[in-house]
Amino acid sequence: MSETESSSSAAAPAATPAPAVATERKPRRLRGHKKGAVTCCVASSARPGVIASSGEDGCLCWFDLRAKDVPFTIEAANKPISSICFKPGNEDFVYASAGNEILSFDVRMGPQSKPLETYNYNRDEINQIAVTSKGFLAAADDSGDVKIVNTIQKCLYKRLREAHTSICSSVQFIPWRPWTAITGGLDSKLAAWDFSKGRTLFSIDYGSPELQNGSSSGSTGQCFNPAFVHSVAVSEEGILGGLYKVCAVARGDGAVDVVDLEYELAPARSKGPPRATTSIMSSKRTELGDGSSNQSQVKRIHLDYTMGGHTAAVSCVAFSAFGEKGKFLVSGGNDASVKIWDWSKGFSSETNSNAELVLDIDVKKKVNWLCTTPTDSDNLIVCDTSKVVKVFDFR
């Protein structure tokens, strides 16, 4: 998280008033970590209301939002834990990255749980991990590489390299494409991979003059920081009636992009020229027409300060698990704010339809990570630079 924290000092105030007024909400505070910042949180899919968090204290904490007390804490490592994830299909198992290691735990063992497996294939410090139901575990590290581990055969499966020239900050698998992963880095690049072959399918360079010149953050400026990719979120399959298969990108210049993955992956299937190099970003969206004069299809939207967005680096993005799943996009940033967007309107071909900022929450501290979960109410879980996990509900 240090890269996003250090970049916020160069931020300039927004020049345009936000359409949504920042609100102060009193959160519920979950205490379990001993010291330092809470670095990551994940919500259980199988057990609504159950949250796992990791911290700089090397601990993993389990919280049940239906209870008052912390169920248990695992002292997982003697160094900060950068990322955690549940094993899809069997959430009794959790993976955590600490330094250049990945550890797995059986949470049924409670506080006495010891690492079941340890993987040491990464050369440098790991920033994020992700795992598939088929047992493939991805780890993005400071060298710019991503290591794919086969946890069933317990061996290194593939090394994804050369797409990123700087720190690889984020990695996610694409659930509806079993052999595809997507990565982001502090070289301002977003890359999609066929990890079975170890090759890139497409790459978007947010630092290129073409994309910067077409973006409002490259002109009068909300933020002088580069468009580093700090976080990537991939939508679940079938959200909003199956109409959208997208990813969201948290950028260091304060913007959030939403990209139509199926459109970007189309050149890889047809072996045509990459479309990412020919599109220009507008302040709100990119419209790539189908050739007719009266119809256009929006394939990327751009959520920035002109719409009430962030005025410093965006550290994390997530699609909502509450309400109609995936309807809202949640972003957190170094401006100590969380934004909730009704993003799908930006993909409409209607002339006056744009993505909207529906809620702006002042959380007082820089956001490290966030996630959402449904219980009796709709919950937003925020990890910031304190040792306390904060829960905002929208009942």
* The pLDDT of residue 21: 53
- pLDDT tens column, 236-260: 988 888 889 999 999 999 999 999 9
Q: Give backbone dihedrals phi and psi of 212, rounded to 5 degrees, phi first.
A: -70, -40
* The pLDDT of residue 267: 62
Please check the confidence at residue 22 and state whether its pLDDT lies above 90. no
Residue 339 — pLDDT band, cuts 50, 70, 90? very high
Residue 277 — pLDDT band, cuts 50, 70, 90? very low
CATH architecture of residue range(s) 28-265+297-393: 7 Propeller (2.130)
Cα-based distances in Å from 60 to 47, 54, 73, 96, 349: 17, 5, 6, 9, 45
- pLDDT tens column, 180-198: 999 999 999 999 999 999 9
Residue 287 — pLDDT band, cuts 50, 70, 90? very low
Contact status, residue 189 vs residue 163, Cβ threshold 8 Å: yes
Please check the confidence at residue 350 and state whether its pLDDT lies above 50. yes
Please check the confidence at residue 221 and state whether its pLDDT lies above 50. no
* The pLDDT of residue 280: 32
* The pLDDT of residue 160: 97
Q: Which residue has the tokens 């009266």?
A: 294
Q: Give backbone dihedrals phi and psi of 215, rounded to 5 degrees, phi first.
A: -105, 145
- pLDDT tens column, 115-145: 999 999 999 999 999 999 999 999 999 999 9
Q: Count Cα atoms within 13 angstroms, Cβ side, for 354.
A: 15
Cα-based distances in Å from 188 to 113, 163, 165, 388: 38, 11, 9, 31
Give the integer Cα–Cα distance in Å for 368 and 234: 18
Give the integer Cα–Cα distance in Å for 7 and 28: 29
Of 21-30, 263-272, 362-371, least confident by mean pLDDT is 263-272
pTM of the complete model beyond 0.75: yes
